[in-house]
Amino acid sequence: DLALIHAAGVPTENRSHFKTQDMMERGMADNETNILSGWLTRHVETLTADRPLLSTISTASNKPISLLGYPQAVSIPDVQNFNVSGGDVNAAVIAGLNSGSSAYQQVAQQTIEAINTVQIKLEELNDGPDDETESGPAYTNGPLSGSLRNLATLIKMDVGLDVATVDQGGWDHHNNLINEFGNNVSELSQSLSAFWEDVSEYRDRITLVFMTEFGRRLNENASAGTDHGSGSVMMVLSG
């Protein structure tokens, strides 16, 4: 189910994480005209216009550049606690204050609708039959596992999701590579394994693409690490 694609990356001489991440997520290379939207935004815009409210989701607390220019995307970092500050009481107040037809009020209404949909679907999922193994998928306590468990829950809730983003940081190993790299790889591999088990009934409908802005240099530096390189490896996991 897993394909490794070597020497993949954006054509650039740049070695800045910030600049190259921005280029990757916009889908542009050196000397190209600046693109004012994310590559996932342009993908989503080729899909049907009548898409569910929760069709495009970021599992981070804010949207990535890859979804730049797509205001319908929703950030849900924790589906179990997806609500406005102050909970249901404040949500009811917000709904009451925004019953009109202005653009601002419509966005507020959509926000409350998204919260209500998630809460209803989550309750239905929790009330359904428990078909997991006794111990369940072996997620770690790390942040990537948390994001992927969150994504698996959203998939199983059947809210109409068709595009989602997940981030994992901590790969800038300029020093002490031998002490840091193994932990990151373990978190990545264990988290993916647990997620793939968790969504076993949906594998033929899922394609996960893993990408990073650039790889590392071959030679070790003076700090027992590796400095910024060029193309890296992409991975595709799918049924």
193-216 tens-digit pLDDT: 999 999 999 999 999 999 999 999
pLDDT tier, 50 (very low <50, low <70, confident <90, very high otherwise): confident
Q: Residue 129 pLDDT > 70, yes or no? A: no
Question: With left for phi above 0 and alpha for psi between -120 and 50, is residue 198 left, alpha or beta?
Answer: alpha
Which pLDDT score is estimated for 134?
Answer: 62
Which pLDDT score is estimated for 130?
Answer: 63
Alpha-carbon span 192 to 4, nearest angstrom? 14
Residue 72 vs residues 52, 55, 83, 159, 163: alpha-carbon distances, Å? 10, 9, 17, 14, 12
Alpha-carbon span 35 to 50, nearest angstrom? 25
What pLDDT, in 10s, does the model give residues 110-124?
A: 999 999 999 999 999
What pLDDT, in 10s, does the model give residues 58-112?
A: 999 999 999 999 999 999 999 999 999 999 999 999 999 999 999 999 999 999 9
State both tokens at 206: 């899922």
pTM for this predicted structure = 0.91
Percent of the chain beyond pLDDT 70? 97
Q: Residue 48 pLDDT > 90, yes or no? A: no
Contact 176, 225 (CB under 8 A): yes
Q: Residue 15 pLDDT > 60, yes or no? A: yes
Q: Taking Cα atoms as reference points, which of 143, 138, 198 lies closest to residue 166?
A: 143
Q: Residue 157 pLDDT > 60, yes or no? A: yes
What is the SS3 assignment for 31-84?
CCCCCCCCHHHHHHCCCCCCCCCCCEEECCCCCCHHHCCCCCCEECCCHHHCCC
